[in-house]
């Protein structure tokens, strides 16, 4: 078993900082066994770095010349100790790069010079110095002649926050040191992790991260970082889906394919600017050195634009969101759904304790020469226990390719409860059979790395019954709310029916009286003549009208259209004629609003 101890610290910043090269603050060094590290973090104020000038872009990796401007209001950073020539140095752990560099006022002692120099350039700052080799110890691994940069000149936010360098945990193919050394025909420039795994080809070559959070600014944050083994509480991660890197062969970054995302229950498709990527996919970079997540503006708008009280701050470059707004976002990776913790979707602003900002920042990412579309930071990675496997061990060829595995730490219900306990509002009730909300220890193999539980049997039945009961209860509640209106409508209908019934009874009575009344007969006199004469009857207004004699009685008609007791003649109503120009038009049903597919976010 290999062990290692890492310490984390939250850094509160109010101006632009390097998005990928974020600093870490070492609190204390713990005794740990080789290969496995537990660490904690604490929040502390520190001097904010100088704000980047307008238009400046920050580099994601120090191997390219393209920059990107990244803004943030606060950061949570993770650090560990690395020992160089017997001296401990606090460095940032960064899966987004692959080089080790250290900067001190007196320089690193007892190193072997190579005559090579390199300038690692960042959007904010740089680290320039000599490529040297030295005896390095990390997580209990002793690495003789490890290549690193002894920076003689550096300007980087990490230097303002207690760290003195960066330790890259990416692939050797991204290493600027290795590339420079290879140019001389030598091979001693391999990355630190490459050399760690090369020491013993029989052990698996993977690392794991548990990046926890604390809701108390003064409390430590527990977490872990391991090499070649998993944390005992999260071994279920190895049962999860193995998500291959992109590209599958010879990757240089921890990039994977994203199948889509969901915001507030609505799923969206994604697109890409990367060549040779299938339609409906996006390439995302998993970077432990970045605090926030940077995605296309259409993606970020889909997450925050419909929230009540949310508005985009153009000066800040982020969405400003009320702190008590629960934002539910899921990512679909490797065919699995992964729910993000709402506490990491909206984070407090340092300028206004009642206001928060969205941790997804809108950014078209013209960086890394089209190698990825999204930059995933620790605001997302904190929702998972993550495993990064480098593939085939050095010297072996089983055909295993690099992959990533993710284990959901909290269920959607547990995360929602966490959010409302911290931010206020009604805490959702858990079903009777729900697992206790006590952190990542609730993860089980049945979750298999996805964001939803796959338990079966009686628990599933109980859960279904609970859901049905809740639905019935909700329906009854709505029925009670609408009962007064329903009774009112019912009363009106009853009154109308009674009126119609009374009118019908009155008409029948009058009709019967009319039939029983004998017709007045005039007997023929001596002069003779007609047996019958026209008789008079009276309408309701007293007018007298003649009644024509009929050989057969007509069918009774409605009192409204004439009849035996009505003065109005019986006529056939003409068929109604409709003017098509006055007919009401049915409003066409328009399709639901969707994002422009060309902007890589389409609702479906």
Query: Can you list the pairs that 199-202 forms with residues at least 24 positions away whose Cβ atoms lie under 8 Å?
Result: 199/141, 199/143, 201/393, 201/394, 201/395, 201/396, 202/393
Where is 78: in which H helix or E strand? strand 75-84
For residues 260 and 175, state if they share a domain: no
Written as six digits, the tokens of 303 are 């997450």
List average pLDDT for each run of 10 residues in the chain, which is 604 residues long. 43 32 31 49 34 29 28 54 94 91 92 95 78 96 96 85 88 96 96 94 91 68 84 95 96 97 96 94 93 92 96 94 95 98 90 85 69 93 97 67 97 95 85 49 36 37 38 53 71 79 74 48 37 35 37 39 36 38 33 34 33
Bridge-based pairing of strands 141-155 and 100-103 is parallel
| The domain boundary residue, chosen from 175, 208, 229 | 229
Question: Could you tell me the maximum CA-CA distance found in the chain, to the nearest angstrom?
Answer: 158
205 and 352 assigned to the same domain = no
| Per-residue model confidence (pLDDT) at position 100 | 97
| Radius of gyration for the alpha carbons in the chain, expressed in angstroms and rounded | 39
Given a contact cutoff of 8 angstroms between Cβ atoms, the answer to whether 79 and 88 are in contact is no
* 152 located within any domain: yes
* Bridge partners for 79 per DSSP: 7, 92
Same domain, 194 and 258: no
User: b/e for 229-242, b at 16 or more Cβ within 10 A?
Assistant: bbbeebebbbebbe
- Note down the domain range covering 322: 234-455+597-604
Q: What is the pTM of this model?
A: 0.64
Contact 283, 277 (CB under 8 A): yes
CB 345, CB 258: distance < 8 Å: no
Distance of CA 374 to the CA centre of its chain: 13
Do residue 175 and residue 248 come from a single domain? no
Report yes or no on 195 lying in a domain.
yes
Domain-ending residue, one of 205, 229, 253:
229
Is residue 357 classed as helix, strand or coil in its secondary structure?
Answer: strand
Domains in the chain, number: 2
In a domain? residue 127: yes
Q: Where are the beta strands (DSSP E) in 334-436?
A: 336-339, 346-348, 355-358, 360-362, 374-376, 384-389, 403-408
Q: What is the pLDDT of residue 602?
A: 32
Domain assignment of residue 523, yes or no: no
Cβ–Cβ < 8 Å for 296, 315: no
Give, as one character, the DSSP assignment of residue 421: H
Q: Which of 341, 340, 329 is nearest to 262 (CA)?
A: 329
Examine the domain organization and report whether 445 and 373 are in the same domain: yes
Structure confidence at residue 344 (pLDDT): 95
Pairing of strands 126-138, 141-155: antiparallel
Kindly state whether residue 334 falls inside one of the protein's structural domains: yes
Within this chain, do residues 246 and 166 fall inside the same structural domain, yes or no? Answer: no
Q: Are 224 and 335 in a shared domain?
A: no
Residues 244 and 218 in one domain: no
Q: For residue 350, what pLDDT is reported?
A: 66
What is the three-class DSSP state of 102? strand
Residue 386: strand pairing partners: 209, 406
Query: Is the bond into 146 cis (omega within 30 degrees of 0)?
Result: no
Q: What are phi and psi of 442, to 5 degrees?
A: -75, -10
Residues 83 and 115 in one domain: yes
Dihedral angle of Cα 210, 351, 26, 67, to the nearest 10 degrees: 80
* Same-domain pairing of 143 and 246: no
Residue 169 and residue 96 share a domain? yes
In a domain, 530, yes or no: no
Residues 85 and 138 in one domain: yes
Instruction: Please state, in angstroms and as integers, the Cα–Cα distance from residue 579 to each residue in 15, 497, 574, following that order.
Output: 68, 33, 15
Q: Per the structure block, which two tokens stand in for 288?
A: 């432990």
State the CATH number of the domain containing residue 191.
2.40.70.10
Residue 535 located in a structural domain: no
Res 155: pLDDT: 87
Give the integer Cα–Cα distance in Å for 421 and 135.
48
Q: Write down the H helix ranges in 323-457.
A: 378-381, 412-423
Phi and psi torsions of 217, nearest 5° = -55, -25
Domain membership of residue 360 (yes or no) is: yes
Q: Which of 229, 248, 277 is the last residue of a domain?
A: 229
């Amino acid at each position: 078993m290999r062990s290692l101890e890492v310490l984390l610290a939250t850094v509160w910043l109010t101006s632009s900082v390097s998005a990928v090269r974020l600093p870490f603050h070492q609190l204390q060094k713990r005794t740990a066994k080789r290969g496995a590290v537990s660490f904690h973090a604490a929040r502390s104020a520190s001097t904010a770095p100088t704000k980047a000038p307008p238009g400046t872009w920050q580099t994601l990796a120090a191997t390219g010349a393209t920059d990107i401007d990244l803004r943030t209001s606060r950061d949570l950073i993770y650090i560990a100790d690395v020992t160089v020539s017997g001296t401990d140095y606090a460095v940032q752990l960064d899966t987004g790069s692959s080089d080790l560099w250290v900067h001190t006022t007196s320089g690193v002692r007892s190193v072997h010079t190579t005559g090579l120099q390199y300038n690692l350039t960042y959007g904010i700052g740089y680290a320039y110095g000599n490529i040297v080799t030295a005896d390095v110890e990390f997580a209990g691994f002793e690495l003789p002649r490890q290549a690193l940069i002894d920076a003689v000149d550096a300007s980087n936010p990490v230097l303002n926050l207690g760290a003195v360098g960066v330790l890259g945990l990416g692939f050797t193919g991204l290493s600027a040191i290795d590339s420079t050394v290879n140019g001389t025909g030598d091979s001693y420039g391999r990355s630190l992790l490459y050399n760690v795994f090369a020491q013993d080809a029989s052990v698996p070559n993977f690392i794991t991260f548990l990046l926890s959070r604390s809701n108390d600014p003064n409390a430590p944050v527990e977490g872990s970082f391991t090499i070649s083994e998993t944390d005992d509480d999260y071994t279920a991660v190895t049962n999860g889906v193995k998500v291959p890197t992109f590209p599958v062969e010879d990757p240089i970054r921890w990039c994977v394919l994203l199948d889509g995302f969901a915001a507030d229950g609505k799923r969206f498709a994604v697109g890409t600017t990367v060549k040779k990527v299938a339609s409906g996919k996006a390439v995302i970079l998993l970077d432990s050195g970045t605090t926030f997540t940077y995605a296309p503006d259409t993606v970020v708008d889909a997450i925050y634009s419909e929230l009540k009280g949310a508005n985009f701050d153009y000066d800040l470059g982020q969405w400003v969101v009320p702190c008590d707004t629960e934002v539910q976002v899921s990512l679909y990776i490797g065919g699995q759904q992964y729910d993000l913790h709402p506490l990491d979707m909206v984070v407090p602003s340092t300028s206004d304790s009642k206001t928060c900002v969205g941790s997804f920042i809108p950014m078209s990412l013209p960086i890394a020469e089209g190698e990825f579309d999204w930059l995933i930071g620790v605001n997302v990675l904190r929702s998972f226990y993550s495993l990064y496997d480098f593939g085939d061990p050095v010297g072996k060829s089983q055909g295993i390719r690099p992959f990533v595995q993710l284990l959901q730490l909290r269920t959607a219900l547990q995360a929602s409860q966490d959010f409302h306990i911290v931010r206020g509002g009604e805490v959702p009730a858990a079903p009777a059979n729900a697992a206790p909300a006590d952190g990542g220890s609730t993860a089980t193999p049945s979750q298999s790395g996805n964001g939803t539980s796959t338990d079966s049997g009686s628990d599933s039945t109980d859960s279904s019954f609970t859901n049905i009961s809740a639905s019935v209860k909700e329906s009854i509640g709505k029925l009670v709310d609408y009962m007064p209106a329903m009774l009112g409508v019912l009363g009106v209908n009853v009154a109308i029916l009674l009126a119609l019934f009374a009118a019908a009874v009155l008409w029948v009575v009058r009709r019967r009286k009319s039939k029983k009344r004998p017709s007045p007969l005039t007997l023929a006199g001596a002069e003779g003549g007609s047996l019958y004469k026209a008789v008079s009857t009276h309408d309701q207004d007293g007018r007298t009208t003649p009644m024509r004699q009929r050989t057969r009685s007509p069918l009774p008609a409605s009192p409204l259209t004439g009849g035996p007791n009505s003065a109005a003649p019986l006529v056939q109503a003409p068929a109604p004629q409709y003017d098509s120009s006055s007919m009401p038009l049915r409003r066409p049903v328009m399709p639901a609003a969707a994002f422009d597919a060309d902007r890589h976010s389409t609702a479906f």
